[in-house]
Structure 1
């Protein structure tokens, strides 16, 4: 069932925002005096509960450092936390402009896997996010893609039907999960291809904005 709405639901990193700054993991590993490979393994292995809002930043970084058999003092944790947030802070200005322009023809929302403290920093740095029709950060809603609960949150929060959504993500597994939840989906590669997909999708739908 559709409520005849046009909602483009965007991922953040790898679509609107850049992936982590190159060299950031090496920089954080060096600050811990840890091998980069071991640090990267601990960083990603401990990440899911932090992304999903089940751990605070100090709990996450304590888990990372303990996995590396390192002490987890408050100063080191805060230094790592701030470096980590900075490493995920870059956006693609062309995509930001495109996303904002879409609000003339569709509802626009965001669903991102991002820890709660990262989300707070991103909202301060990118206030245009508050102009979107809905913003869902995994660390705030306590559900991370590709879990069905993340997509269900957006459906319920926007009082829409799954078929009202076109979900855009650079990760195929997340797009598959969105489609399994009843949404339309597109694996993002670049802005021009996405614009063509959206232009084709929108005329088949009743317009929400006159």
Structure 2
């Protein structure tokens, strides 16, 4: 089978594409453990998140910055567990699309900004069965929308940008991928992903 006949790569973001938004009770559990509010966009949870996703901070360092005090291994592990739980609610419509693509022989990968602790927590999760490759920012050392993230994935997949369809919910990530020649689709949560992909 030559390259033209082989199915292309579909590369999916995780949060808000494969998973749905955290539920209010998830944030409540995380905030109860932290003792401070975290869900609002300007909170310390988000302020230090890219550094955590990129692997610049380990678990204790991240949660110490989030909570504003020194955090031990036990509390850091608890916070990581609660954090993983709140991002573990799967989008059933997306799973249907993954099942369809997988049944057609399409090659699937994940590219997500995700800290190492969460990536480890999700290792072996049921949704990973659809994917031939999993790329997480903490393992790459870069976060989307940095161009180097996409170049890393293209090199690892040994494929041309035009052979990749990338799905993400953030405009800046989609724009960065398109700049490199990747067929990038902006997914709007709640919109039919199958229609967005033209399947």
2:157 alignment partner in structure 1: 158
The structure with the larger Rg is 1
Distance apart, 1:32 and its partner CA = 3.1
SS at match of 1:185: strand
SS at match of 1:129: helix
SS at match of 1:28: helix
Residues 88, 190 of structure 1: CA spacing in aligned structure 2 closer, same or farther, 3 A cutoff? closer
Work out whether residues 30 and 36 of structure 1, in 8 Å CA contact, stay in contact via their aligned partners in 2: no
Distance, in Å, in 1 between the alignment partners of 2:166 and 2:181 is 10
SS at match of 1:29: helix
In structure 1, runs of 5+ residues without a counterpart are 201-210
144-153 or 72-81, which deviates more: 72-81
Q: TM-score, normalising length from structure 2?
A: 0.85
2:80 alignment partner in structure 1: 81
Distance, in Å, in 1 between the alignment partners of 2:73 and 2:135 is 29
Distance apart, 1:138 and its partner CA = 1.1
Distance, in Å, in 2 between the alignment partners of 1:65 and 1:39 is 16
Distance apart, 1:26 and its partner CA = 3.6
SS at match of 1:124: coil
**More helix per residue:** 1
In structure 2, runs of 5+ residues without a counterpart are none
| 1:178 and 2:177 correspond | yes
Distance, in Å, in 2 between the alignment partners of 1:16 and 1:75 is 29
Q: Which has the higher contact order (CA 8 A, sep 6+)?
A: 1
Matches within 5 A, 1:5-154: 6-36=8-38, 41-66=43-68, 70-103=69-102, 104-126=104-126, 128-154=127-153
Distance apart, 1:98 and its partner CA = 1.8
Distance apart, 1:132 and its partner CA = 1.6
Q: TM-score, normalising length from structure 1?
A: 0.81
Task: Name the count of aligned residue pairs.
Answer: 194
Work out whether residues 112 and 136 of structure 2, in 8 Å CA contact, stay in contact via their aligned partners in 1: yes
Residues 133, 72 of structure 1: CA spacing in aligned structure 2 closer, same or farther, 3 A cutoff? closer
Distance, in Å, in 2 between the alignment partners of 1:19 and 1:82 is 16
Residues 120, 80 of structure 1: CA spacing in aligned structure 2 closer, same or farther, 3 A cutoff? same
